[in-house]
Structures are given as structure tokens and as C-alpha cells.
Structure 1
Amino acid sequence: MTARIALIGYGAIARELVEHLAPEREAGVVELAGAVVRHPERHPSPPGGFVPIGEAAARDLVVECAGVAAARQHGPALVAAGTALLVTSVGALADAEVARALLGGPGELVLTSGAIGGLDLIRAAAQAGGLDRATITTTKTASSLVQPWMGAAEAARIRGLAEPELLFDGTPAEAIERFPGNVNVAVALGIAARGLGDIADGLARVRVRIVADPRTDTSTHVIGAEGSSGAYRFEIGNRPSRANPRTSALTAQAVAADVRAWLARRGHGAAGP
């Protein structure tokens, strides 16, 4: 049985995902059936062509690869229509209203952990009531942290840094508004840290720091967590995507793994080992 999958967005992550799913496509397990984009003229043609969001909603699975704003715009309606949705921009769930809509069904919601690991341990500790607080320090190349809201002088200053500099220290919700393309991982950590409570409970336990480092060529995430269950520390260093240095090369690979897990749960089989 072939699963028909649509994409929201056709940037670097979506195009890399298409490549990673080549075995499933060749085996007839997956048909990539269109992409939803705002400006088709800016993109190469995707498998299945460009489609409106209403047509994408009729697919077996929609994979969002277009950023926090797109996830907030399209996600709630897709889930409400009963469509299975895989969200890569988990920062969208920092908005409580959006989170309620995405989690409210009847469509299945799949959240990717993207560029970090260890969330299963954080989730287990939080669900047992043994997690009090967590931190995540994300360090990226200075140029990849320049944002549209920054003035020209500030953007030039960051690009010209000679030493690492702390650019942000605050909550996941604040971080995702200021650096939406860089710190979905912070909200993913908050979701894992919620335990059996609301996402807001988990986000309140998390502190986010963002460091610009002109000397690095990796995206590094250092996660610390502690509580009655114990103390934990994870460090993940990812190469940035060559096509989009704001995200990690691992992100599209993680999304492909999540798609394969979804296929297995739905009985579609998988082409990989």
C-alpha cells in the first residue's frame, strides 16, 4: 500500500527529505504528491507539482518543512480536517492556542526532535515527576544567527564577531519568536520536559541560551537537566546544512526517520533495513 505524502515548503529541508526517501519512493511505499509553497516561481518543481493546501489535506500525511509561521498558519486546519501532520517547526507549539489546536485532533500529530537526542530520557524523568529544570545552550556560526528584525549595524556587528558572544538568554517562547529558524530544539526540549502536564509547564522549566561563535563550523546543543530523578547532560554537535546553514544537516535525516516510523505504524512498510 502506497502512502501519499505532501510537503509544506520546498526549501532545503524538504528537498533533502525527498532525496532521503528515494528508497521508499522506488519501492512504491511512498508517493510524494505535491508541495504547498507561497511562491512557486522561486522553487524547482517538486514531485507531484505544486498544490493548494486543500489538496494537500487529502493526502495520507503532510510534512511541514516551511518554518514556524507556516506551521501555525496551516497546521491547526489540517489536524482539524483529520489529516496526519508531521511538524518540523515544533517551535509553533510555544503558542498555547496553536498547541491546543494541533494536539486536539482528530488528525495525528507527529513532532520531530530534529537535531537533538536524549529527549526520551527527559520525557521519562518529567513524567515520573523527577525533573525540576532544564537548560539548552545552542551555539551556531555567527552569520547564521543574523535575523531580519536586526538593524543593519547589529547584523554587521554579529557577522564581524571575533569571539563567541551570548546573543540571547530567556524562555523557549521568547527564543522562538526572536530566532524562529534556529531554536525549534528548545521548544522540543520543553515539550519533553512537560511530563504529564501542559506544554506550558514544560516550557516554564526550560532556560535557553543562544551563542554566536565565529570560530565554529558546527551547530552545538548542550542540554542540562536535573531533579529528583538525577542530573543529565547531553552535547550534540551537528554540521550545518550546506543548503541552509540556519539548520542542521541532521534535520532532514531525522524527519526521514520519523516518516519511516509513521509508515511502519500505519502498516505501509518501509524500504530501509
Structure 2
Amino acid sequence: MTTPTLKIAVGGFGAIGKAVAAALDAGIPGMELVAVSARDTTKAQAYMAQSFSRAYEILPLENLAERADVVVECCPAHLLDIIARPTLEAGKTLIVISVGALLSNEHLVGIATENDGRILVPSGAILGLDAVQAAAQGTIESVKMVTRKPPLGLKGAPAIEKMGLDLDTVTEPVKCYQGTAHDAIEGFPANLNVAVALGLAGIGTKLTQLEVWADPTVKRNTHTITVVSDSANLTLKIENIPSDDNPKTGRITPLSVISTLKRLTAPLVVGA
């Protein structure tokens, strides 16, 4: 029996969206790129003409689900509801990059439940979420993440602007935040999707402790995670290479989305 080809749409055509769309254009078995959404249609068309095998339809975010079985969200966080609501109301699958925005859009889970839609959260820039989820089936006593980023990677964060910290003049590590993952995302909306993903996998974002450092001694976005539970104690360290196009995003993030897509049709899935 032949499995139907999944139609994929990519919402957002920045560093992550372009990489995901390019992988689909190059060919992923059982999948077909059918549409993208871009803020600048002219630039997106020019990019596809130069880099892709063919031109793909460019649609508004809210119309992507009309063409696709699976919609990949690669947008600024404040646009999540615009792309997610119609996708989930249509009973389609939504892959979410702006994980932090789920905290202010909890209604999306209800919409997915009512319409047989699905919200998938890739591991993104963090490893070990499957192990954390496994530990959560028992009792987790504590989860803590310490994030260290090159100062440039924190530019534009509301919390940094509120501090009045001049990131261009930072010469030694500066602690910019200490508290819960739940409270941090408002101050670092473009930086801490990984902390929210960790919270959702484990004991919740309100109990997941977090430190954020602007650290000129590191060249990579670095996350150190410690989990204490009744089944295992986990210590995880990730050093993500920043994207050339966007230092706030790790190169591994679009690769994680591509991996998630492949798992949808793969005959063998590891780490489920």
C-alpha cells in the first residue's frame, strides 16, 4: 500500500524557514513543499528563483493550511495565533518553533483537541527532551537550566533594554535573569524557546529554574541543564553554533524541524 505524500507549508521565510523549505525542495521522501509565507514576497520570489529547483506559491500565514497537511511555523512569536488557529481548526498538524508563545496561547491546545489537530514541538536547540519526558512519568524533583550567550545574541531582548545594559561594552559575564522559565519568556521572547520546551517536557515552566547570562567568553549559545528525579539524574550541556543569518538562532534549530518532519513518515523512529 502506497502512503500518500504529505503536503508541507512553511510559514516564515527567515533563517529557519528558508533552511526547512530548502530541505523540502531538495527532497524528503513522502513529502512535498506546496507553499511558503513571507513578509517580503518579492525577496522570497527572488531567493527561490536563485536557490530552489522551482518557484513555490507564496500565501498569507492564515491560508497555508488550505494547501497543506502539515504547517511549519517559523515566524515571530506574536504571529503564532494567526498561523496556528486555522491550521488546528482544519484538523491539520502544526510544527511550532515559537514555543514560548504557547504560554500566552494556551487556547490552541483546546482548538487542537476539539478538531483532531496536532501541535508538535521539535527539540530545537536542546537535547535530551525525550529523557526528560521519560523522567516526568515518575517524579522530577528539580530542573535547572543555565543559558550563556555571546552578548550579541541577546540584543533587542526587552529584559536587556529594561536593564539598560550596553551589550557592546560587556567584557565579563553578566547575569541578566534568574527565575522561572515561565517568567523569563516575556523578557527574552526570541531567545528562550528552549527553556519553555524544557519546561513543557518536564515539570512545567513555572517550576523550571533558569539563569540567563550575557557572556563574552563564549562563542556559542550554551545551555547547561540539570535534572534530579527518582529515576535518573541528568546533566546535559549543549553548545549551539549561532546561525550566520541570525545569531539568536542556532544552526541546529532548522535541522531539528527537518528531523521532526522525517519522523512523520519514517518506518523506523528512534527516541519516540
Give TM-score scaled by structure 1 length.
Answer: 0.84
Conserved 8 A contact 1:132-1:205:
no
1:33-91 per-residue CA deviation (whole Å, 9 max, x = no partner) reads 11123443454455413112343112111000113222233213321221111111111
| Counterpart check, 1:178 vs 2:156 | no
Conserved 8 A contact 1:146-1:159:
no
Q: Counterpart of 1:24? A: 27
Percent of aligned pairs sharing the same letter: 31
Please identify runs of 4+ aligned residues in structure 1 that moved more than 6 A. none
Range moving further from structure 2, 15-24 or 1-10: 15-24
Range moving further from structure 2, 83-92 or 33-42: 33-42
Q: Counterpart of 1:13? A: 16
Conserved 8 A contact 1:9-1:66:
yes
Say which of 54, 66, 70 aligns to 2:75: 66
Alpha-carbon separation, structure 2, partners of 1:72 and 1:135: 29
Greater relative contact order (Cα 8 A, min sep 6): structure 1 or 2? Answer: 1
Q: From the superposition, tell whether residues 99 and 63 of structure 1 become closer, same or farther in structure 2 (CA, over 3 Å).
A: same
Q: How big is the shift at 1:120?
A: 1.2
Alpha-carbon separation, structure 1, partners of 2:123 and 2:257: 8
Q: How big is the shift at 1:102?
A: 5.8
1:110-148 per-residue CA deviation (whole Å, 9 max, x = no partner) reads 1111011111111111111x2022011111110110125
Q: Counterpart of 1:198? A: none
1:1-51 per-residue CA deviation (whole Å, 9 max, x = no partner) reads 4322111100000111123334425x6x33211112344345445541311
Q: From the superposition, tell whether residues 148 and 189 of structure 1 become closer, same or farther in structure 2 (CA, over 3 Å).
A: closer
For residues 50-89 of structure 1, the aligned pairs below 5 Å read 50-58=58-66, 59-89=68-98
Say which of 169, 174, 184 aligns to 1:165: 174
Q: Counterpart of 1:253? A: 255
Alpha-carbon separation, structure 1, partners of 2:61 and 2:74: 14
Alpha-carbon separation, structure 2, partners of 1:18 and 1:96: 26
Range moving further from structure 2, 70-79 or 3-12: 70-79
Range moving further from structure 2, 15-24 or 209-218: 15-24
Q: How big is the shift at 1:170?
A: 1.9
Q: Counterpart of 1:4? A: 7
Which letter does structure 2 place at the counterpart of 1:73?
I
Which letter does structure 2 place at the counterpart of 1:247?
T
Alpha-carbon separation, structure 1, partners of 2:47 and 2:16: 15
Consecutive unaligned residues in structure 1, runs of 5 or more: 195-201
Instruction: Report how many residues are paired.
Output: 256
Which letter does structure 1 place at the counterpart of 2:91?
G
Q: How big is the shift at 1:215?
A: 2.6
1:156-187 per-residue CA deviation (whole Å, 9 max, x = no partner) reads x1122001111111222222211111110001
Q: Helix, strand or coil for the counterpart of 1:16? A: helix
Which letter does structure 1 place at the counterpart of 2:248?
R
Q: Counterpart of 1:35? A: 36
Q: From the superposition, tell whether residues 96 and 152 of structure 1 become closer, same or farther in structure 2 (CA, over 3 Å).
A: closer
RMSD: 2.5
Alpha-carbon separation, structure 1, partners of 2:82 and 2:179: 25
Consecutive unaligned residues in structure 2, runs of 5 or more: 49-54
Conserved 8 A contact 2:226-2:233:
yes
Conserved 8 A contact 2:62-2:83:
no
Q: From the superposition, tell whether residues 214 and 34 of structure 1 become closer, same or farther in structure 2 (CA, over 3 Å).
A: same
Range moving further from structure 2, 89-98 or 219-228: 89-98
Which letter does structure 1 place at the counterpart of 2:121?
L
Q: Helix, strand or coil for the counterpart of 1:251? A: helix
Alpha-carbon separation, structure 2, partners of 1:214 and 1:236: 17
Q: Counterpart of 2:52? A: none
Which letter does structure 2 place at the counterpart of 1:206?
T
| Counterpart check, 1:210 vs 2:180 | no
Q: Helix, strand or coil for the counterpart of 1:14? A: helix
Q: Counterpart of 2:146? A: 137
